């Protein structure tokens, strides 16, 4: 059980680190294009790479980390007035809903990523641009979030208190 | 059950889930997917999952959100904001409540560098509030000032909310940025005047403001004022001169902030890493609500609730005054419970048809909406800015104290709102001279 | 009574929403005596533009507008035919031809079937022309200009004449031209007024840089299509014929009117200089020489030559047919579309397995 929690925490951190790298890449990529433009040049494919790769990775991969640390925006006021066991009950409910939601997203986006890979999905811009690898960020992020939710749930039940 | 009934039931269930502490994005998303499945078929619900998150996130226009957040966090983690606050304080010491007025000014400056209200409030809460409490300021006034002035972050450009509104309503983001500028400054001025008047009447609110700086001290403080103004001028100047677009400005601003921090020697690895982690986590926190609201928007659209709702309002009158009044009431009531970004995306599909039907200017309406959303950021029970300040200060203050202190500012916000509505020129003058 | 969702991601006022969805919906309801009730959605409320195909396939919407350029890897045949866009500058014959050809060419029909849509009608934009901050009328002036282009053939040409082709979302076109991160944008004439581009790009050059027409203006979900009765399908065909006539007349008309309006507002409308026209001609001929190879190598079509030739022959056919009638006569055009295209389809079998 402890091993599972530690594994899922490790996954969160790795994904977060990749997202941070994507943020840096996004900053540099856009800046490079702006500088190139001042010299009547361009970094070809900035819009496509930034939107479909850097953005998707930076926005979605930290999800498991955010879920684990309860940085997903939620409303505490009402629940804090309730007795501990009721709080725990609602927390378990929230975890179950979260698990089902992210599970459904992981499952469907996994199927989509697979299909996209098989047909080598592209978008048309001023050239042909492959986007299928970016699709895999979704099942990865949502799947890891399921693990994080499960780990939180086990911890809450073990400690008999809402997290 | 008709689709309309399912839509109404979905709204109720989502609100209940939010109230029992299910994260907002998850509550909106899961209710919508189940709701769509019930209205149509499970296959359609799965189809909606396929067709939504990837295509929503992969939008160039939205890259402004993480970039402006990163720029703001670089500023706070490398202490680029403190010098300006310190200097303003030394120059305004003679004003009643000078420290609080300085905080409003510093918030306005920081707002011009930061895209988010919450980031603005978070940045200044750690610098300004402890200072005010140390001088014996009333806790409500000290925290209320920052909670309210933080909301300038969304009105004074750049602004993530304005970017989202522009993308959704298909209005030029550049024009929106220009339009928000004067209403933002007016908000700040009105806050400052209110503080001065209140402290004049009840001097104890401002404790014993006993600093009496010499001119030497004041000029010494000016040495460290430059980082924020330099950053702001390079970001806004670059947009204005056409070197980069408002979307690209966040990335440029991040690089400039890093360069300034490096020059001052405050760009440590820890600061840089913390800024990245915070920017990544808050971006994701925002986007999971965004994705949830996109699902919710689609669910509501299919249920036809928005159409019935706007028919209901238009049934009373199609006069633009009535529509603006109805819109204001809707935002102030919903704003008590729903976060600003979620509320924006939740309501635009309902309200835009109304507003277009009444022939209102979409840029002007955007500024009205942002001001209304700002009010929601500080009203109980769910006021994100208030939570942020409480979070930053821990047990120094209680939530009711902060909400109480914010009350005066909300009254001023409503005054500003009336001004914005009565005088469309406040919003539309700058964009119009930009065009010529 | 059959209710269904019809979706076009363009704004309600855009010609590709207005004539083919917003006006078409009530016409369907009326023609069927209230039996067919389309629920019309415009804009991105239900689906992101790129996701329309997916939405049709998954039955999120029962009929939708989906340009093939948004999902090139899914529609290589339609994309190969779109490669000819640079060679045409007259929208009406292409609109009728693409509709006819897409519902009769076996290779294209097989592609619709594979992608999971039933094609029931096409669209065509007027030629994309140049909207610029400064006059761009000859080869000298186009050098170094940053031009927003919307396709690979055009961007190759822009590069060849020394311009810089850039990809910018349409929502940022206005601010790009306003602030000078863009020098020119290529779009349909009507966008000059509808997207307020005249405010920021006072110089229009009427150089045709291609048209867009690939993919279904009405793509139906196959299960939904199969669930309809032949009578219902026939009503959809008839109403679609008229909607196509309306689109064909009005899109081009609005594009031309927009130029007059812009001129009245003080914009300058330039004719392209001879060297610019000659360069487009030369580029067209060069690419035409390679068109079969493009179709076969870039899009992987085994019968690339056959596909391209049959499309071009269909366009020629409609060029001929249109000579005999008044292009602005909606009834005459509708009749031509019905007799040449929809009357030849069997509502009992078309699009049904
Ligand atoms: Na701001
Ligand atoms: Na609130």
Average pLDDT across chain B, whole number? 84
Q: How many domains does chain B have?
A: 1
Chain A closest CA to B70's CA: distance in Å? 8
Q: CB under 8 Å to C336, separation ≥6 — which residues?
A: C96, C321, C322, C325
The answer to whether residue B30 sits within a structural domain is: no
Is residue C260 a contact partner of residue C192, using CB atoms and an 8 Å limit? no
The pLDDT of residue B380: 76
CA distances from C237 to B176, B197, C230, C246, C311 (A): 44, 72, 10, 14, 22
Q: How far is the CA of A78 from the centre of ligand 2 (A)?
A: 14
> CB B86: neighbour CB atoms within 10 A?
17
Beta bridge partners of C185: C131, C148
| pLDDT surpasses 60 at B436 | no
The pLDDT of residue B434: 66
Q: Do C199 and B435 touch (CB under 8 A)?
A: yes
Is residue B253 a contact partner of residue B133, using CB atoms and an 8 Å limit? no
Q: How remote is the C-alpha of C265 from its chain's centroid?
A: 28
**How would you label B349-359 residue by residue, b for 16+ Cβ within 10 Å and e otherwise?**
bbbbbbbeebe
Angle at C317 between CA C316 and CA C320, to 5 degrees: 90
Chain B contacts of C175, Cβ < 8 Å? 172-175, 245-246
The pLDDT of residue B276: 95
Q: Comparing B74-88, B137-151, C85-99, which segment has the lowest mean pLDDT?
A: B74-88
Q: Do A109 and B53 touch (CB under 8 A)?
A: yes
Q: Do C167 and A124 touch (CB under 8 A)?
A: no
Rg (CA), chain B: 22
Is residue B88 a contact partner of residue B149, using CB atoms and an 8 Å limit? no
Q: Angle, nearest 10°, between helix axes B227-241 and B246-264?
A: 150
The pLDDT of residue C343: 95
The answer to whether residue B3 sits within a structural domain is: no
3-state secondary structure B33-82: HHHHHHHCCHHHHHHHHHHCHHHHHCCHHHHHHHHHHHHHHHHHHCCCCH
Query: Pick the residue with more confidence: C247 or B355?
Result: C247
CA distances from A95 to A84, B100, B338, C62, C254 (A): 16, 42, 21, 35, 55
What is the pLDDT confidence band of residue B208, given thresholds at 50, 70 and 90?
Answer: low
Query: Pick the residue with more confidence: B157 or B274?
Result: B274
The pLDDT of residue A65: 95
- Of chain A, the percentage scoring pLDDT greater than 90 comes to 65
Q: Comparing B87-101, B386-400, C61-75, C261-275, which segment has the lowest mean pLDDT?
A: B386-400
The pLDDT of residue A22: 97
**Strands ordered across the beta sheet of C128-132:** C164-166, C146-148, C184-188, C128-132, C203-205, C268-270
Distance CA B7, CA A137 (A): 32
What is the pLDDT confidence band of residue B433, given thresholds at 50, 70 and 90?
Answer: confident
Q: Which ligand is in closest contact with the Cα of B246?
A: 1
Is residue C65 a contact partner of residue C7, using CB atoms and an 8 Å limit? yes
The pLDDT of residue C198: 85
Chain A closest CA to C114's CA: distance in Å? 12
First-residue to last-residue Cα distance in chain B: 55
The pLDDT of residue C200: 84
| C128-132 and C203-205 beta bridge pairing | antiparallel
Q: Comparing B233-237, B379-383, C345-349, which segment has the lowest mean pLDDT?
A: B379-383
- pLDDT tens digits along A86-106: 999 999 999 999 999 999 999
| Sign of torsion over alpha carbons C109, C113, C119, C122 | negative
What is the pLDDT confidence band of residue B211, given thresholds at 50, 70 and 90?
Answer: low
What is the pLDDT confidence band of residue B355, given thresholds at 50, 70 and 90?
Answer: confident
| pLDDT surpasses 70 at B154 | yes
What ipTM describes this predicted complex? 0.89
Query: Pick the residue with more confidence: B396 or B178?
Result: B178
Q: Which of C72, C149, C168 sits opposite A128 (nearest CB)?
A: C72
Chain A contacts of C49, Cβ < 8 Å? none
| C184-188 and C146-148 beta bridge pairing | parallel
Interface of B with C (CB under 8 A): 40-41, 43-44, 46-48, 50-52, 55-56, 59-61, 166-167, 170, 172-175, 239-247, 297-298, 301-302, 349, 434-435
Q: Please, which chains are in contact with B (at least 3 CB pairs closer than 8 A)? A: A, C
The pLDDT of residue A56: 96
Q: CB under 8 Å to B168, separation ≥6 — which residues?
A: B344, B345, B348, B352
Tell me the average pLDDT across B287-304. 84
Q: CB under 8 Å to A152, separation ≥6 — which residues?
A: A67, A68, A70, A95, A163
**Strands ordered across the beta sheet of C63-64:** C36-42, C2-8, C63-64, C219-220, C118-119
Q: CB under 8 Å to B26, separation ≥6 — which residues?
A: A72, A94, A97, A98, A101, A102, B288, B292
Is residue B305 a contact partner of residue B7, using CB atoms and an 8 Å limit? yes
- Per DSSP (E only), the strands in chain C are 2-8, 36-42, 63-64, 118-119, 128-132, 146-148, 164-166, 184-188, 203-205, 219-220, 268-270
- pLDDT tens digits along A118-152: 988 888 777 778 999 999 999 999 999 999 999 99
Q: What share of chain B is helix, strand, coil (3-state, %, to 5)?
A: 80, 0, 20
Per the omega criterion (within 30 degrees of 0), is the bond before B381 cis?
Answer: yes
What is the pLDDT confidence band of residue B229, given thresholds at 50, 70 and 90?
Answer: confident
Q: Classify residue C345 as exposed, middle or buried by CB count within 10 Å of its CB (0-12, 13-18, 19+).
A: middle
Q: Which ligand is in closest contact with the Cα of B75?
A: 1
Beta bridge partners of C42: C8
The pLDDT of residue C59: 92
Is residue C149 a contact partner of residue C167, using CB atoms and an 8 Å limit? yes
Q: Which of A120, A121, A124 sits opposite C69 (nearest CB)?
A: A124
What is the pLDDT confidence band of residue A20, given thresholds at 50, 70 and 90?
Answer: very high
Q: Comparing A53-67, B205-219, C10-24, which segment has the lowest mean pLDDT?
A: B205-219
Average pLDDT across chain A, whole number? 90
pLDDT in tens, chain C (353 residues): 899 999 999 877 789 999 999 999 999 999 999 999 999 988 877 888 889 999 999 999 999 999 998 898 899 999 999 989 888 989 999 999 999 999 999 999 999 999 999 999 999 999 999 999 999 999 999 998 999 987 778 888 999 999 998 888 776 787 778 777 889 999 999 988 877 788 889 999 999 988 999 999 999 999 999 999 999 999 999 999 999 999 999 999 999 999 999 999 889 999 999 999 999 999 988 888 888 988 888 888 999 999 999 999 999 999 999 998 999 999 999 999 999 999 999 999 999 97
CA distances from C249 to C92, C126, C212, C242 (A): 8, 11, 16, 11
Is residue C162 a contact partner of residue B50, using CB atoms and an 8 Å limit? no
State the DSSP code for C58. T
Distance CA B208, CA B137 (A): 8
3-state secondary structure A46-111: HHHHHHHHHHHHHHHCCHHHHHHCCCCCCCCHHHHCCCHHHHHHHHHHHHHHHHHHHHHHHHHHHH
Residue B218 domain boundaries: 62-435
Chain C contacts of A127, Cβ < 8 Å? 152, 155
First-residue to last-residue Cα distance in chain C: 24
Tokens of C268: 């300058």
| pLDDT surpasses 80 at A1 | no
First-residue to last-residue Cα distance in chain A: 18
Tell me the average pLDDT across B7-28. 89
Angle at B228 between CA B227 and CA B231, to 5 degrees: 90
Distance CA A150, CA A152 (A): 5
State the DSSP code for B156. S
Q: How far is the CA of B153 from the centre of ligand 1 (A)?
A: 4
Q: Where are the domains of chain A?
A: 3-159
């Amino acid at each position: 059980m402890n091993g599972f929690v530690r594994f899922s925490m490790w996954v969160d951190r790795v994904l977060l680190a990749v997202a941070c790298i994507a943020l840096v890449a996004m900053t540099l990529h856009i800046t490079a294009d702006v500088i190139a433009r001042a010299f009547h040049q361009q970094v070809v494919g900035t819009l496509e790479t930034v939107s479909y790769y850097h953005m998707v990775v930076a926005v979605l991969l930290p999800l498991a980390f955010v879920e684990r640390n309860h940085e997903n925006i939620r409303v505490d006021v009402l629940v804090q007035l309730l007795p501990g066991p009721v709080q725990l009950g609602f927390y378990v409910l929230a975890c179950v809903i979260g698990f089902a939601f992210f599970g459904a997203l992981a499952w469907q986006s996994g199927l989509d990523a697979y299909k996209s890979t098989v047909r080598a999905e592209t978008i048309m811009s001023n050239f042909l641009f492959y986007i299928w690898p970016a699709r895999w960020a979704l099942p990865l992020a949502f799947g890891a979030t399921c693990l994080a939710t499960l780990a939180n749930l086990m911890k809450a039940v073990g400690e008999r208190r809402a997290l | 059950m008709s689709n309309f009934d399912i839509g109404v039931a979905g709204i109720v269930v989502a609100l209940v889930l939010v109230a029992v502490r299910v994260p907002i994005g998850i509550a909106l998303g899961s209710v919508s997917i189940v709701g769509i499945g019930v209205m149509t078929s499970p296959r359609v619900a799965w189809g909606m999952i396929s067709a939504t998150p990837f295509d929503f996130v992969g939008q160039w226009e939205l890259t402004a959100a993480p970039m402006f957040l990163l720029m703001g966090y670089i500023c706070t983690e490398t202490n680029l904001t403190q010098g300006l606050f310190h200097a303003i304080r030394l120059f305004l010491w003679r004003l009643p409540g000078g420290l609080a007025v300085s905080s409003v000014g510093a918030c306005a400056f920081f707002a011009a560098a930061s895209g988010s209200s919450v980031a603005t409030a978070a940045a200044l809460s750690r610098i300004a509030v402890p200072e005010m409490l140390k001088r014996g300021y009333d806790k409500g006034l000290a925290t209320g000032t920052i909670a309210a002035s933080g909301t300038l972050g969304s009105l004074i450009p750049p602004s993530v909310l304005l970017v989202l509104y522009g993308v959704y309503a298909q209005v030029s983001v550049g024009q929106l940025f220009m339009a928000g500028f004067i209403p933002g400054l007016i908000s700040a001025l009105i806050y400052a005047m209110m503080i001065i008047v209140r402290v004049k009447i009840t001097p104890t609110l401002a404790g014993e403001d006993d600093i009496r700086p010499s001119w030497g001290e004041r000029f010494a403080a000016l040495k460290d004022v430059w980082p924020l103004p330099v950053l702001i001028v390079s970001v806004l100047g670059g947009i204005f001169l056409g070197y980069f677009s408002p979307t690209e400005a966040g990335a440029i601003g991040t690089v400039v902030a890093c360069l300034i921090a490096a020059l001052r020697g405050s760009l440590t690895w820890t600061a840089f890493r913390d800024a990245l982690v915070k920017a990544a986590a808050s971006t994701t926190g925002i986007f999971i609500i965004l994705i949830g609201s996109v699902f919710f928007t689609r669910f509501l659209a299919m249920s036809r609730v928005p159409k019935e709702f706007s028919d209901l309002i238009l049934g009373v009158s199609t006069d633009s005054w009535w529509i603006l009044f109805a819109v204001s009431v809707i935002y102030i009531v919903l704003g008590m419970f729903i976060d600003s970004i979620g509320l924006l995306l939740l309501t635009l599909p309902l309200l835009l048809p109304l507003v277009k039907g009444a022939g209102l200017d979409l840029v002007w309406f955007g500024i009205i909406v942002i001001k209304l959303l700002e009010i929601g950021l500080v009203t109980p029970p769910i006021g994100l800015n208030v939570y942020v300040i409480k979070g930053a200060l821990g047990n120094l203050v209680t939530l009711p104290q902060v909400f109480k202190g914010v009350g005066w500012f909300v009254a001023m916000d409503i005054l500003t709102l009336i001004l914005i509505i009565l005088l469309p020129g406040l919003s539309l003058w700058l964009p119009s001279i930009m065009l010529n | 009574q059959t209710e269904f969702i019809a979706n076009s991601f363009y704004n309600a006022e855009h010609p590709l929403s207005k004539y083919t969805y917003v006006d078409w919906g009530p016409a369907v309801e009326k023609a069927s005596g209230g039996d067919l009730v389309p629920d019309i959605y415009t804009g991105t409320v239900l689906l992101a533009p790129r996701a329309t195909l997916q939405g049709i396939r998954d039955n999120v919407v029962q009929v939708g507008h989906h340009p093939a350029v948004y999902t090139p890897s899914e529609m290589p045949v339609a994309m190969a035919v779109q490669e000819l866009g640079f060679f045409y500058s007259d929208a009406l014959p292409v609109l009728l031809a693409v509709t006819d050809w897409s519902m009769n060419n076996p290779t294209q029909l097989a592609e619709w079937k594979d992608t999971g849509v039933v094609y029931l009608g096409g669209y065509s934009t007027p030629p994309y022309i140049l909207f610029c901050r400064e006059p761009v009328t000859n080869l000298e002036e186009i050098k170094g200009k940053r031009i927003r282009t919307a396709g690979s053939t055009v961007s190759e040409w822009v590069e060849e004449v020394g311009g810089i082709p850039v990809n910018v979302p349409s929502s940022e076109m206005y601010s790009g031209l306003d602030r000078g991160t863009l020098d020119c944008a290529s779009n349909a004439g009507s966008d000059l007024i509808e997207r307020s581009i005249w405010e920021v790009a006072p110089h229009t050059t009427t150089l045709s840089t291609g048209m867009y027409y690939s993919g279904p203006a009405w793509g139906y979900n196959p299960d939904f299509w199969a669930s309809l009765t032949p009578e219902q399908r026939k009503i959809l065909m008839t109403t679609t014929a008229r909607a196509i006539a309306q689109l064909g007349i009005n899109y081009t008309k609005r594009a031309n009117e927009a130029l007059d309006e812009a001129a009245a507002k003080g914009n300058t409308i330039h004719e392209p200089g001879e060297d610019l026209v000659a360069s487009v001609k030369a580029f067209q001929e060069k690419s035409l020489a390679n068109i079969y190879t493009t179709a076969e190598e870039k899009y992987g079509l085994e019968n690339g030559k056959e596909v391209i030739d049959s499309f071009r022959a269909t366009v020629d056919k409609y060029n001929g047919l249109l000579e005999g009638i008044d292009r602005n006569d909606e009834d005459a055009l509708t009749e031509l579309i019905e007799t040449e295209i929809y009357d030849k389809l069997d509502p009992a079998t078309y699009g049904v397995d």
